[in-house]
Amino acid sequence: MSDIHIRKSGQTGRITFTRPRALNAMSYQMCLAIEDALDAWAQDDDVKMIVIDAQGEKAFCAGGDIAELYETGTKGDFAYGQIFWADEYRMNAKMFEFPKPVASFMQGFTMGGGVGVGCHASHRVVGDTSQIAMPECGIGLVPDVGGSHILALAPGRMGEYLGLTAARLNAGDAIHTGFADYYIPEANWPDLIAQLEDTGDWSLIDDAGVWVAPGPIAQQASNIDASFGGESLRDIVNALRVGTSDFAAESLKKLSRNSPLAMGCALEIIHRARAADNFRTALDREYRFTYRAMEHGDFLEGIRAQIIDKDRNPQWKHAIDALPDVAVSQMLLPLGSAALTFEKGETA
């Protein structure tokens, strides 16, 4: 497949995103290819560890390739998206639970689907160009691909802030919030990867890591905790409106662009993920939303406004001041027989 290069090299399994002009956006076929590699390498004694990287300077993987999701959804075919998300989440679970070390080298943009690959590795490396974010609420989705699990474990109320505002994390903030583990200068990555291929010795990453200071988001921790600790979207909006700081005004502006339904559901999913602290349970709750996102949510309108027509003027189903609690509850109800199973082949 020209979009991704999967092979064994030395003592490693190697995955490289190879569509830099598309910011290495992950297609459905790329997702399935990664899962097949994980299945094969889990029991392959020749593979001591996995190394994941990407071509190009701009992005490790800037998200999922959503063009086909939009095309099918606007024709009333919601099943394609439901299958896509179920299969992607199953791959995410296998990445998170992989029985051998997995190293990811995440330059440039790592967002959405890229988080679902790179940020579930055991050894997550960032550098000076790294920018990690969960921007899904801007297109009517919730932070998914297991992202809600990472957000729930972030310090204080960082998870709520990142999930609702789509704020971008530099290397220091990515490590501080739990999206990455190591800062290594990007000029050193090729030699380090070559050594990993030769030796399969993941401890080389520990030796190569360099301390980096937390970034500007970490420095706003007190403002974030004070403003994003509410139980509902309404609570957070009200807290920001009474605030007098630049932080409050900037955060409110960011929220005003996003889908209120998606933000309300994202907040609930993050809260539940924090209480449960179970990766598969987090994916299950994310899937309840994405399963319904095309038919009952703002996803298609969000894609239209941001990607298709690019008018940046989405007509969301609800106003930020008037999101009914029942709308959140309905999007997150159990799916019964349609629930996520994590069994390969059942969704095809």
| 347, pLDDT greater than 60 | no
pLDDT of residue 348: 40
Rounded average pLDDT over 328-339: 98
- Measured in degrees and rounded to the nearest 5, phi and psi for residue 211 equal -65, 140
Name the amino acid, one letter, at 216: P
| Enclosing H/E stretch for 283 | helix 279-296
Share of the chain above pLDDT 90, in %: 95
Type of residue at 233: L
The pTM of this model reads: 0.96
Angle at 297 between CA 296 and CA 299, to 5 degrees: 130
Q: Residues 6, 51: contact at Cβ < 8 Å?
A: no
* Average pLDDT score over residue span 129-156: 98
Distance in angstroms between the alpha carbons of the first and the last residue of the chain = 20
The phi and psi torsions of 227 (rounded to 5 degrees) equal -100, -25
For residues 112 and 336, what is the distance between their CA atoms, to the nearest angstrom?
Answer: 26
pLDDT above 90 for 2:
no
Alpha helices in 178-278 (DSSP H): 189-199, 203-208, 221-227, 233-242, 246-257, 260-276
* 204-222: average pLDDT: 97
Q: From the options 3.40.50.300, 3.40.50.2000, 3.90.226.10, 3.30.70.20, give the CATH code of 4-338.
A: 3.90.226.10
Q: Is the pLDDT of residue 240 over 70?
A: yes
Q: How far, in Å, CA of 269 to CA of 319, rounded?
A: 20
**171-202 pLDDT, tens digit each:** 999 999 999 999 999 999 999 999 999 999 99
Examine the pLDDT at 130 and tell me if it is beyond 50. yes
d(C-alpha 187, C-alpha 70), whole Å: 38
**Across residues 226-251, what is the average pLDDT?**
96
Contacts of 336 (CB under 8 A, 6+ apart): none
Q: How confident is the model at residue 346 (pLDDT cuts 50, 70, 90)?
A: low
The one-letter amino acid at 99? P
Q: What are phi and psi of 234, to 5 degrees?
A: -60, -40
pLDDT at 84 over 90: yes
pLDDT at residue 301, as a whole number: 97
Tokens, residue 310: 């690019």
